[in-house]
Amino acid sequence: MQLVGSQETLLNTTEAAALTGRSMAAVRNAIMRGLLPVVDRTNLGRPLVRRSDVLVWDKRSIRPRRKDTEPWLRVADTLGVLGFASAEELATCLGIHPGNARKYLLILEAQQRAKRGNDGQWSLTRPSSATGAA
């Protein structure tokens, strides 16, 4: 960190990322797109930005929504509400591709959390009392 004449704190990309909780790639992308102005490049050729500019950029820019780590749980939740549904119906309800709905249903089936009936309708299975017992 450095100070300029107005006692403004300057940050490198690592410090700016740590301050905002964003990735260094997001900070570098904002610099390349001109959304985050570079004040100085005397730090071994690395960009330095004002702390105040970083905070303004962070407040104004949209953070991408973090993807679910287990997206099939949304399918399970929806299936629990509906009771039974086809993969296509679940895809329509959730706004996902039918192929992804089928994939998530197969994951739930492998976990013994869902089953497919003879009519092609999926439903949640009831967990057995032995599940989870070690």
Task: Give backbone dihedrals phi and psi of 21, rounded to 5 degrees, phi first.
Answer: 75, 20
2-60 carries CATH number 3.30.300.20: no
DSSP string, 70-119: STHHHHHHHHHHHSSB-HHHHHHHHT--HHHHHHHHHHHHHTTSEEE-TT
pTM exceeds 0.75 for this model: no
Hey, which residues does 3 pair with through a beta bridge? 9
Task: State both tokens at 124.
Answer: 């949640």
pLDDT by position in tens, the chain (length 134): 444 445 678 999 999 999 988 888 889 989 988 999 998 777 677 899 999 999 999 988 877 666 667 888 889 988 888 889 999 999 888 888 999 999 999 999 999 999 999 999 999 987 544 444 43
Domain extents in the chain: 2-60, 72-124
Provide, for the chain, the percentages of residues in helix, strand and coil under a 3-state DSSP scheme, each rounded to the nearest 5: 45, 15, 40
Helix (H, G, I), strand (E, B) or coil at 17: helix
Classify domain 72-124 by CATH architecture: Orthogonal Bundle (1.10)
